[in-house]
Structure 1
Amino acid sequence: MSEYAERTWAPAAEQQASWPAVFSLTLGVFGLVTAEFLPASLLTPIARALDIPEALAGQAVTATAIVAFFAGLLAAVVTRGLDRRRVLMGFSTLLILSNLLVAAAPNLPLLLLARVLLGIALGGFWSMATAVTIRLVPPALVPRALSLVFSGVSVATIVAVPLGSYIGGLYGWRVVFLLSAGIGLVTLVIQMATLPRLADLGAARLGTLLSVLQRPGIGLGIACVVLVFSGHFALFTYVRPFLESVGGTDVSGIALTLLGFGLANFAGTLLAGFLLERSLRLTLALMPLLIAAAGLGLTGLHAGLPLQALLVALWGLAFGTIPVAWSTWLARAVPDETETGGGLIVAAVQLAITFGAAGGGAIYALAGVAGVFATGGALMVATSAIILASISASKPA
């Protein structure tokens, strides 16, 4: 995206890919995202058990997101000089502790403390995931390795909410979080067995965040991340109301449609490695256009369930490639500060979640759910144009 990226992204010495270590990062991502999503399916029983309103119990999700925002920005600074293997295992330990505390929580303060610990682990792990991944495989295999790591998000998206709800209904919500702690423990053991020692190669300080943002093209790239993810979360937050009110879809149809989204998202994550090895630029620009086509198509076609499900699956496929694509862009744009860059992306995505949900809510109040989808689609088109315009003077990525 910038001339700086073209100058600094150079092939490293030949190395062997450490796929077991990459897989351990995938498990880490899966465990963290699963724990992040679980309250969405268990909010009612949690609120009932702790004798608090559901709206208050929902702040467990908010606490995680806020802390993850700051943890993503500060993780590289706070852990400066530490072996990255130990740091990642520390975040996995926090994941285990968070789940155990939630499972034992007798009141709201302890629940929030547990979710704060999860936020630290989530933001910190995400900020370092790309930086560590590119050190585990040769440069040519980075897109493929990142697609494997991000597949953990897709799998968690598919299984966390429905499986959490099902197991919680059978055995209680506390058992669900104990199982989530078990996933974290398995992850920690595998990381101990597979991750090599990884010395901290950077010298991150608070000023490093600003200096990285000031590099040519980086600030604009991070802004595009915010726009793309804001558009997606504005649409996804209101996909069920859209399918119910505009599409006239029943509960079973909605469940199948969302399952299709999750499966297509997983496929898109795996497809990303193939696409990015051919053209990073086209992938960055084309995928928001596909999401726009899906959003605008849902709004304008007023089609029945089969076509709606197909458009939602197209959306899921396109979005599956986006986190991998932007992480690959980051690895090429700031190879000397990938942890700081990763923190900026984590912060950008957390902001996008807030902007997307809040902005979508405001549009929903003014123009209804169809207005949300029309506006979100238009935002995606505009973002694709910005991406194309901003990289038009650069050499092909």
Structure 2
Amino acid sequence: MDLDVAVRTASPEQDVRKSTRKEWLSVFAVALGAFSLVTTEFLPVGLLPEVARTLDVSLGSSGLMITAPGMIATMAAPTILIGTREADRRSVMLALSGLLFLSNLAAAIAPNFLVLLIARALLGICLGGFWTVALATSGSLVRAQDSSRAMSIVFSAVTAATVIGVPLGTYFGSISTWRASFVATAVLVAIAFVGQLVFLPSLVPQSRQTWSAIRSALVSRGTLLSLIATALIIASHLAAYTYIAPFLINSVGMPPLSIPWVLLGFGAIGFIANLSAPSFLARNAFGVYLTLVVLFAACFLALPFTAGSLVTTLIILVVWAVCNGAVLLGMNSWVLRRSPEHAEAASALFVSTVQIGIAFGAISGGAVVDVFGVPANFVLALLLAALTALPLIAERSKL
């Protein structure tokens, strides 16, 4: 991520002053944008059955709603990092928020599945730009002593989107239509856009990223292995999670109106796990990575055989949620541990890799679902999780 952003040159006297209300409001405007972005990205997870029925596509094909933005974001992350290296971050943020609004609006009025996928592709550009630019600006919006708190607010908004935004969007769609969920998210984006327009200051980038820095990070053996592990474990999770709603409805027998509450609980548990993960990573990073791989695999192995027991299924979902809460932070920590000299370029590569994992997991999962049905999808997720052990073992002595 482009972490070096200079907002203004401050004198020593200014450095000790508290951040102003307007500066904090600018942080919350970015945080609201983050919340609406992540909500938009994963909103289809709870809406796939209804979208597939309404637009007359297969359940597996509807998973392209997750795949399309991931594929575009993979290319957009490094491209936007390089292409906007001299651009005012305020202008970039506003452009991304405006594009996100158009994406949600286009999805809401899409007359067919092709138009819906185009709308989701626009989201992919926003994803790539956000993770490489917007998150990095948050620490520069306030005084130096408050930068960590500002960044934590934005990261908390990202996590909150999975805890609150996606389940609420799913619930809204279940009592109305899936189109209404995208309209509601578009309203959130519009509010964030106005907040950014009013409160964001000029944000001039201090560093100038190049393609050579990204290539240098990529050719490093340690960085490459950590990125491969990231792609595999994220693909494993998304192959299963993308189709969790139809699994719970059709295989477990849960009523559709209960799905938002399950997703809410899943996100809440993940949020707690996210907060707890840093202390464990600091003590035994390899142990955390190994535990994640083993538990992910165990969950995916067990779920197809426990569909007849609601209690057992929910227990497994709790374990899965804990893993999901820790996985992004854990994998990002692994990537940065192995490429400290190319931290910014490695972060951009990490963003692209996560999106590759999301795209591959969703599209491969969709293919399996269309041919073999939803329960068979967990076999694919199990295989991908097991493959993650290979780069982990190869890097054991370095972690």
Same fold (TM over 0.5): yes
Q: Does the CA-based 8 Å contact 1:143-1:276 persist in structure 2?
A: no
CA distance in 1, matches of 2:222, 2:321: 28
Does the 8 Å CA contact 2:174/2:257 hold for their aligned counterparts? no
Q: CA deviation at 1:291?
A: 2.0
**Is residue 79 of structure 1 aligned with residue 87 of structure 2?**
no
CA contact (8 A) 1:130 1:339 kept: no
1:325 to 308, 322, 330: 330
Matched, 1:159 2:172: no
Tell me how many residue pairs correspond in the alignment: 374
Partner of 1:120: 125
Measure, in 2, the Cα distance between the counterparts of 1:194 and 1:337.
32
1:284 counterpart residue number: 289
Aligned partner of 1:204 in structure 2 is 209
The answer for the alignment partner of 1:10 in structure 2 is none
Shift, 1:31, TM fit: 0.8
* Structure 1 contact 127–339 (Cα < 8 Å) conserved: no
Supply the distance in 2 between the matched residues of 1:309 and 1:72 (Cα, whole angstroms). Answer: 36
> Contact 2:31/2:153 (CA < 8 Å) preserved in 1?
no
**2:226 aligned to 199, 202, 221, which one?**
221
> What residue number does 2:272 align with?
267
Rounded to whole Å, the distance in 2 between the matches of 1:126 and 1:383 is 24
Change (3 A) 1:91 1:277: farther
Aligned partners of 1:46 and 1:376: how far apart in 2? Answer: 22
Match of 2:156 in 1: 148
For residues 336-355 of structure 1, what are the structure 2 equivalents within 5 Å? 338=343, 340-355=345-360
Q: Find the residue that maps to 2:85 and give its secondary structure.
A: coil
Q: Which runs of 5+ in 1 are unaligned?
A: 1-13
Residues 25-55 of structure 1: CA distance to partner in whole angstroms, max 9, x if unpaired?
A: 432222112223445638857996xxx6446
| Structure 1 residues 254-275: Cα deviation after superposition (integer angstroms, max 9, x where no partner) | 7354443233223333334554
Contact 1:130 1:331 in 2 (8 A): no
Q: How far apart in 2 are the matches of 1:240 and 1:66?
A: 23
Task: For 1:45 and 1:352, locate their aligned partners in 2 and report how far apart those are by CA, in whole Å.
Answer: 23
Distance in 2 (alpha carbons) for counterparts of 1:147 and 1:44: 31
- The answer to whether the Cα contact below 8 Å between 1:202 and 1:337 also exists between their aligned partners in 2 is no
In the superposition, relative to structure 1, how do residues 105 and 21 fare at CA in structure 2: closer, same or farther (>3 Å)? same
CA contact (8 A) 1:146 1:328 kept: no
Q: Distance in 2 between matches of 1:196 and 1:38?
A: 31
Cα distance in structure 1, aligned partners of 2:63 and 2:372? 26
1:72 shift after superposition: 1.8
Q: Which deviations, in whole Å up to 9, do the C-alpha atoms of 1:307-360 show, x marking residues without a partner?
A: 220111110121012122333445555567555434322322232233323444
- Unaligned 5+ segments in structure 2 are 1-14
CA contact (8 A) 1:142 1:328 kept: no
Aligned to 1:230: 235
Q: In 2 relative to 1, CA 366–243 (structure 1 residues): closer, same or farther, beyond 3 Å?
A: same
- Distance in 2 between the 1:36 and 1:238 partners? 15
Question: What is the percentage of aligned positions where both structures have the same residue?
Answer: 30
The answer to whether the 8 A contact 1:143-1:272 is kept is: no
Q: 1: distance between equivalents of 2:340 and 2:25? A: 23
Q: Which residue of 1 aligns with 2:255?
A: 251
State the shift of 1:220 in Å: 0.9
Comparing 70-79 with 327-336, greater Cα deviation is found at 327-336
Deviations 1:160-219 (A, max 9, x none): 2222343437xxx3x544432221122234445665654324333344432220134111
Alignment of 1:1-397 (within 5 A): 23-38=28-43, 41=47, 53-54=56-57, 63-103=68-108, 114-129=119-134, 131-132=136-137, 147-154=155-162, 155-168=164-177, 173=179, 175-192=180-197, 197-240=202-245, 243=248, 248-251=252-255, 255=259, 257-276=262-281, 280-299=285-304, 304-330=309-335, 334=339, 338=343, 340-360=345-365, 372-374=377-379, 376-377=381-382, 379-384=384-389, 386-387=391-392, 389-394=394-399
Instruction: State the Cα deviation string for residues 219-247 of structure 1 (Å, max 9, x = none).
Output: 1111111111111122224445655676x
Q: Distance in 1 between matches of 2:128 and 2:382?
A: 28
C-alpha distance in 2 between matches for 1:21 and 1:105 = 32
Paired position in structure 2 for 1:6:
none
Partners of 1:143 and 1:386 lie apart in 2 by 31
Q: Distance in 2 between matches of 1:107 and 1:364?
A: 22
For residue 327 of structure 1, give the secondary structure of its aligned residue in structure 2. helix
